Structure 1
Amino acid sequence: SHMLARVMDVPYHQMTWTCAGINHLAWFTELRRGGEDLYPLLFERSRDPEVWETDPIRFDIMHHFGRFVTESSGHFSEYVPFYRKRPDLIDKYCREGYLGATGFYADGWPQWRKRKDQQRRDIIAGKAELQLERSWEYASFIIEAMETNKPFVIHGTVPNDGLITNLPADGVVEVACLVDRRGIRPTRFGYLEPQLAAICDWNMRMYDLAAEACIQRSRKLAAQALMLDPLTAACCCPAEIKQMTEELFEAEKDFLPGF
């Protein structure tokens, strides 16, 4: 939301917004300044090539599906079948780092982990100071709200139970939640625009099947879950996905007892 305010050159305190969906696939369904709908301005600004380059996949999906998604361009591209299925599409839409670089996390995590481990060792040894600047991670805000009864709104992942009426009632969704001394209380969103709900629902069905595969210790269900993964299905046929699943189970067999 802060990034969108900067793109539109709107003071953040003047902007209100509504957001809902599922984890990694939540959507800004409203962007307003008073009575003004800010989406026309966002569409206009996004057509500027310099602005587009800051988040090409998120702006592209907005132009086709009508709403801006919360997840970064790179990570979002892994949840949909559109942007990573051919080398030419990766070249066209993906950029370095968090904007979609292939292998970014796989290549980066080992070095990130080493740096963090060294930072912790230096702090313990007294060679570095523990930095206490507050980040936008929710944990400290949740604790403060519950301990001091100072209300705070987060967008949390919670059981649906009718919060988003056109997503599975037994699924897990992401909606605005009020936090205070009484705990975390989700707010009802209602009906999510059908094109956005369809993307969420597709992933939710796959998650359910993957969870069932874990509960039943079923390789067959695990393979079927992967067959329903939007990006995997865009790149591979069912036979290839089944073979890949077996290869993954073989590679990770020490960590998957019972399968």
Structure 2
Amino acid sequence: MNFTNPMSLTVLTGIRASKLPIVGLCHSIQHTSHTLATYLEIPYESLDWKAAGINHLAWFVKLEREGQDLYPLLREKARDPEIYDQDPVRFEFVKHLGAFCTEGSGHDSEYVPYFRKRPDLVQKYDRSGYIGESGFYANNWPTWLENSARDLRDYLAGKREYEMERGEEFASYIIEAMETGVPVVIYGNVPNTGLINNLPQDGVVEVACLVDNKGVQPTHFGSLPTQLAALDAQHMAFHDLVATSVLEEDREAAVHALMMDPLTAAVCSLEEISQMFDEMVAAQSDYLPDFLKQ
């Protein structure tokens, strides 16, 4: 079970390099399903939904209550500025592409070429904090790290009691289902063995999986709407190139991967991307393998 980002890349490289059964686990889908119930102002238990795609770019292709499509209601809710401003990028996806994405607006804005390529677009679509603020992680990481280290010291010294409460992360549910045989459905990142018809079959996709004493069993989804599959497929090409670079020690594949990144390509020319790659390798050479260095 892998919780580590970059999720799709880690899982893809792992399954190509080993024969281990690997499933990548994220909390985006289950968290977003609760977020949608909040936006729609309906009880979560009444929400009937289905999602599929790739990690951080999967899509709620079904959003219903008692057989009624809830997307018209979601579009109506999004006209309220107080709701729209909580998720501007994802509501733009709904407006123009027809589906709500599984990752938050700030992160999503980094995955596509539409929202961060010009200063005016950053100002229009990004908000403070996790909703797209530039430098948010870099500026806050030192404080977060120190707070986590302090908490750990307090736990180890017995100054604070560690409260254990089961959350929405899937690992414990997988273990329970495999040990007891009582089935549970989770969403996992797994090899695309015909699960999503119109995405590359040698990549990793995020779909519903049945778990019981037979293990994690991915379920067939079908085909995504073409416009959504196109966004996902471009990232899967990026994933393929990065995995190839790592496993075959291929520098050129790494450069090509950066050229395929949608946001990078929206901002920079091929020559600029190549130069940027060289600059990034030089700046971080102490942490990188020799094959990436010129």
Q: TM above 0.5, one fold?
A: yes
Check if 1:14 corresponds to 2:60.
no
**Structure 2 partner of 1:246:** 278
**Structure 2 partner of 1:126:** 158
Distance 2:289 2:80 in 1: 52
C-alpha deviation, 1:198, in angstroms: 0.3
Task: In structure 1, list runs of 5 or more residues that go unmatched.
Answer: none
**Structure 1 partner of 2:102:** 70
Q: Matched residue of 2:151: which SS?
A: helix
Distance 1:215 1:62 in 2: 37
C-alpha deviation, 1:237, in angstroms: 0.8
Check if 1:192 corresponds to 2:224.
yes
Q: Over residues 161-187 of structure 1, what are the superposed CA-to-partner deviations in whole Å (9 max), with x where a residue is unaligned? A: 100000001110000011122111110
Distance 1:196 1:77 in 2: 15
CA RMSD, 1 decimal: 1.1
**Structure 1 partner of 2:146:** 114
Distance 1:198 1:95 in 2: 27
**Structure 1 partner of 2:202:** 170
In the TM superposition, 1:43-122 aligns within 5 A as 43-122=75-154
C-alpha deviation, 1:57, in angstroms: 0.8
Task: In structure 2, list runs of 5 or more residues that go unmatched.
Answer: 1-32
Structure 2 residue identity aligned to 1:134:
R
Check if 1:228 corresponds to 2:254.
no
Distance 2:179 2:129 in 1: 38
Structure 2 residue identity aligned to 1:251:
A
Query: Which sits farther off after the overlay, 211-220 or 127-136?
Result: 211-220
C-alpha deviation, 1:11, in angstroms: 1.5
Distance 2:74 2:159 in 1: 46
Distance 2:204 2:156 in 1: 39
C-alpha deviation, 1:140, in angstroms: 1.6
Distance 2:156 2:189 in 1: 34
Q: Over residues 65-122 of structure 1, what are the superposed CA-to-partner deviations in whole Å (9 max), with x where a residue is unaligned? A: 0000000000011110000111110000000111001011222222212211211111
Distance 2:215 2:182 in 1: 11
Q: Over residues 125-171 of structure 1, what are the superposed CA-to-partner deviations in whole Å (9 max), with x where a residue is unaligned? A: 00111120222111222222222223221111000010000000111
Equivalenced residues, count = 259
Structure 2 residue identity aligned to 1:238:
L
C-alpha deviation, 1:20, in angstroms: 0.1
Check if 1:212 corresponds to 2:244.
yes
Check if 1:144 corresponds to 2:150.
no
Q: Matched residue of 1:132: which SS?
A: coil
**Structure 1 partner of 2:290:** 258
User: What TM-score, normalized to structure 1?
Assistant: 0.97
Structure with the larger RCO, 1 or 2 (CA within 8 Å, 6+ apart): 2
Q: Over residues 38-76 of structure 1, what are the superposed CA-to-partner deviations in whole Å (9 max), with x where a residue is unaligned? A: 111111111111110111111011101000000000001
Structure 2 residue identity aligned to 1:92:
K
Structure 2 residue identity aligned to 1:87:
P
Structure 2 residue identity aligned to 1:195:
Q
Structure 2 residue identity aligned to 1:51:
I
Structure 1 runs (4+) deviating above 3 angstroms are none
User: What TM-score, normalized to structure 2?
Assistant: 0.86
Check if 1:38 corresponds to 2:70.
yes
